[in-house]
């Protein structure tokens, strides 16, 4: 699902071409009133043209034929844009369908016996046994066992994941495969309601409903269409009265050019493409409303561990006591960690190698490695007669037994300083003599400060959520560059914070994966649940991240903003287009009767017919030209709302006025050169 499908994919284009014709069905067109008006107009002119040709009312029909054809092209191009957007979703859906396999399920009956049945016969709350090599027959929760699971059919990631009973990694998805061991799964969905089924419906757009913003814009477009329809209808009596009666072809051309056909033709495609961009990032939105809400988010709540920080404390510094060489401390720390396979132990070895060049250190085969235990709270190595240990402060103090009392006060001072900074101190001793302290800290992920700066430029407040004490939380928050933090946070604290922000009129987004996160995910305006999380969390959120990457929330916000910006920019461009069309069509209609109106022909269009035809052609072609922009989205740059508005008004407002003047003039030159008007 991660691989983006090109908008120029030949298969999608072929399907979109046929789809654009199928969408001419008036029942389908009625869902888009703007383009429905164009279709009605094109149909009426087609009938009128055929009748006129049959009865031989006029000698030539070149102008009328061209107008009629270009109106049909306008409808077809709009349908093509929507079909292209849908085609990308259907391609994603086909990939998911191929992942669905008809499999058997080993259901465990109430009496403890096991029976093999078809997976389609499973119902909610059934319990099944799945062993290595078998597919998980349906969505569910692991209630017993632990297993390695291949979820590549869903996430696109080839690396297997661990699923186990209890905790926040108990949810499994139907269609994934167990690679090792076994698990008992309680089914949580009925056939046709599985996660894959919902994914297919979403990416196909079958379950897509118009969002509030989309509905509001839809009403605006309908209103503008009605206004221009009334204007054109009432124009003819005045034209007749003044001796400038217009043909039905000219009047319908005027109507089509004035109503917002550009945005009307692209509106649906923009919405579908917005959902598709989320899918490309392996995020599934349960509704378009959630995507739009992401674009309007004011406050972003992020967990510290695993989101802002790596989650594993890593060695960041060796602090030697007075009289001890730092390299000697680093060598002793590295030797004590050679057999330590924990992330902390590996980080000590790496820091010693990178900072002090301790990569040549080796130990002989007689070395005895001492493993860490809960009782000793130390680990280390015995080399010949040398004993090296690292561990908790009190454990090392007990181990050294006061052999270096002159260092005790200094050691305590260093330890307290590290603890106040939110770090973890590990003391290193060589032959019962303390050498110094290893400073372990929760490392902030690279680039997080820059990302939070971008969010601040977007006008979004970031809040770090952590169970750490306030001092530690403050240290991490300052290093990461977040705006605020919530320390020693409980589920109730999260809920209270979300409600407080919402009462201030703000939209809140957060991530979560556990059952205890479910209330907060449901309360947040945008709740992104991790795919590795519990079923309760996935049901409470309105988005699911298939990669289970909590930092993905930042991309989700950017995609939401891009959707809103794209829709706003193309709406501005569409409405601005009308200005040039006034200068093309109005002089063409009335300049012969009212010569003073010739002054409005600032483009110098050759003839009235070429002017009208050029405007109609441009009106159709601009939809085609904007299809890539509608599908890819307007490029989003983090900036304030006012700066963003100014930029888009300049580019798409002013550009929407200037572009038609250039385009209509070029088309006029071409059609007059070819003798088409």
Active site amino acids? 303
Going by C-beta distance under 8 Å and a sequence separation of 6 or more, which residues neighbour residue 23? Answer: 29, 79, 82, 83
Spell 530-540 as b/e; 16+ CB within 10 A means b: bbbbbbbbbeb
Q: Measure CA of the first residue to CA of the last residue in the chain; give whole Å.
A: 50
Per DSSP, the residues of 69-84 read HHHHHHHHHHHHHHHH
Task: Give the separation between CA 320 and CA 328, rounded to whole angstroms.
Answer: 9
Q: Can you tell me which residue has the tokens 């291949």?
A: 150
Tell me the CA distances in angstroms from 419 to 245, 413, 585, one per residue in order.
Answer: 88, 10, 77
| DSSP annotation of 533 | S
| DSSP annotation of 411 | H
| DSSP annotation of 379 | E
The 3-state DSSP class for residue 166 equals coil
Q: What are residue 437's DSSP bridge partners?
A: 319, 427
Spell 553-565 as b/e; 16+ CB within 10 A means b: bbbbbbbbbbbbb
**Token pair recorded at residue 354:** 């990178």
Q: Can you tell me which residue has the tokens 């590549």?
A: 152
Q: Is 334 exposed, middle or buried (0-12, 13-18, 19+ CB in 10 A)?
A: buried
How many of the other CB atoms lie within 10 Å of CB of 220?
Answer: 14
Q: Is 109 exposed, middle or buried (0-12, 13-18, 19+ CB in 10 A)?
A: exposed
Judge contact between 507 and 296, C-beta under 8 A. Answer: yes
- Own/partner pairs, 473-476, CB within 8 angstroms, 24+ separation: 473/304, 473/422, 474/422, 475/421, 475/422, 476/304, 476/308, 476/309, 476/422, 476/442, 476/444
């Amino acid at each position: 699902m991660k691989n983006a499908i090109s908008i120029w994919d030949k298969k999608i284009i072929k399907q979109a071409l046929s789809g654009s014709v199928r969408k001419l069905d008036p029942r389908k067109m009625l869902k888009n009133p703007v383009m429905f008006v164009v279709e009605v107009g094109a149909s009426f002119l087609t009938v009128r043209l055929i009748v006129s040709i049959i009865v031989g009312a006029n000698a030539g029909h070149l102008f009328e034929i061209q107008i009629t054809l270009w109106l049909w092209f306008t409808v077809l191009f709009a349908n093509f844009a929507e079909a292209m957007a849908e085609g990308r979703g259907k391609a994603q859906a086909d990939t998911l369908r191929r992942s669905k396999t008809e499999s058997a399920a080993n259901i465990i009956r109430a009496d403890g016996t096991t029976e093999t049945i078809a997976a389609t016969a499973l119902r909610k709350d059934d319990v099944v046994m799945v062993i290595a090599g078998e597919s998980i027959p349906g969505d569910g929760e692991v209630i017993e066992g632990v297993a390695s699971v291949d979820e590549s059919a869903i996430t696109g990631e080839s690396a297997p994941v661990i699923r186990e009973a209890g905790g926040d990694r108990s949810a499994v998805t139907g269609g994934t495969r167990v690679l090792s061991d076994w698990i008992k799964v309680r089914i949580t969905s009925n056939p046709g309601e599985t996660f894959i089924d919902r994914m297919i419906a979403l990416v196909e757009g079958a379950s897509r409903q118009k969002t509030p913003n989309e509905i509001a814009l839809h009403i605006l477009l309908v209103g503008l269409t009605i206004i221009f329809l009334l204007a054109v209808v009432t124009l003819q009596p005045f034209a007749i009265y003044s001796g400038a009666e217009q043909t039905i072809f000219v009047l319908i051309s005027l109507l089509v050019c004035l109503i917002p056909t550009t945005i009307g033709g692209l509106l649906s495609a923009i919405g579908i493409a917005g959902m598709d961009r989320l899918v490309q990032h392996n995020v599934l939105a349960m509704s378009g409303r959630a995507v739009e809400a992401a674009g309007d988010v004011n406050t972003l709540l992020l967990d510290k561990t695993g989101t802002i920080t790596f989650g594993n404390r890593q060695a960041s510094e060796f602090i030697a006591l007075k009289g001890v060489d730092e390299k000697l401390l680093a060598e002793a720390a590295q030797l004590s960690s050679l057999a330590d396979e924990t992330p902390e132990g590996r980080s000590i070895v790496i820091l010693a190698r990178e900072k002090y060049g301790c990569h040549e250190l080796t130990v002989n085969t007689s070395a005895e490695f001492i493993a860490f235990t809960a009782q000793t709270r130390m680990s280390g190595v015995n080399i010949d007669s040398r004993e090296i240990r690292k561990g908790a402060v009190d454990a090392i103090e007990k181990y050294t037994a006061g052999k270096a009392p002159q260092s005790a006060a200094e050691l305590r001072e260093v330890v307290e300083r590290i603890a106040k900074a939110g770090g973890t101190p590990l003391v290193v001793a060589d032959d019962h003599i303390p050498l110094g302290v290893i400073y372990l800290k929760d490392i902030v992920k690279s680039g997080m400060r820059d990302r939070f700066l971008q969010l601040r430029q977007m006008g979004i407040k970031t809040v770090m959520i952590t169970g750490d004490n306030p001092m530690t939380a403050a240290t991490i928050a300052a290093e990461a560059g977040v705006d605020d933090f919530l320390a020693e946070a409980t589920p109730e604290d999260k809920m209270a914070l979300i409600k407080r922000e919402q009462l201030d009129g703000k939209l809140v987004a957060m991530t979560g994966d556990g059952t205890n996160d479910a209330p907060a995910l449901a309360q947040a305006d945008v709740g992104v649940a991790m795919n590795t999380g519990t079923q309760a969390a996935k049901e409470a959120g309105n988005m699911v991240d298939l990669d289970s990457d909590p930092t993905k929330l930042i991309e989700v916000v950017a995609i939401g903003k891009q959707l809103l910006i794209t829709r706003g920019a193309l709406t501005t461009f569409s409405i601005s287009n009308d200005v040039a069309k006034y200068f093309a069509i109005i002089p063409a209609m009335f300049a012969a009767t009212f010569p003073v109106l010739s002054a409005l022909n600032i483009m110098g269009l050759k003839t009235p017919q070429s002017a009208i035809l050029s405007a109609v052609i441009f009106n159709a072609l601009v939809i085609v030209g904007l299809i890539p922009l509608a599908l890819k989205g307007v490029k989003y740059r983090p900036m304030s709302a006012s700066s963003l508005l100014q930029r888009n008004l300049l580019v798409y407002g002013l550009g929407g006025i200037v572009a038609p003047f250039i385009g209509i003039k070029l088309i006029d030159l071409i059609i007059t050169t070819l003798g088409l008007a």
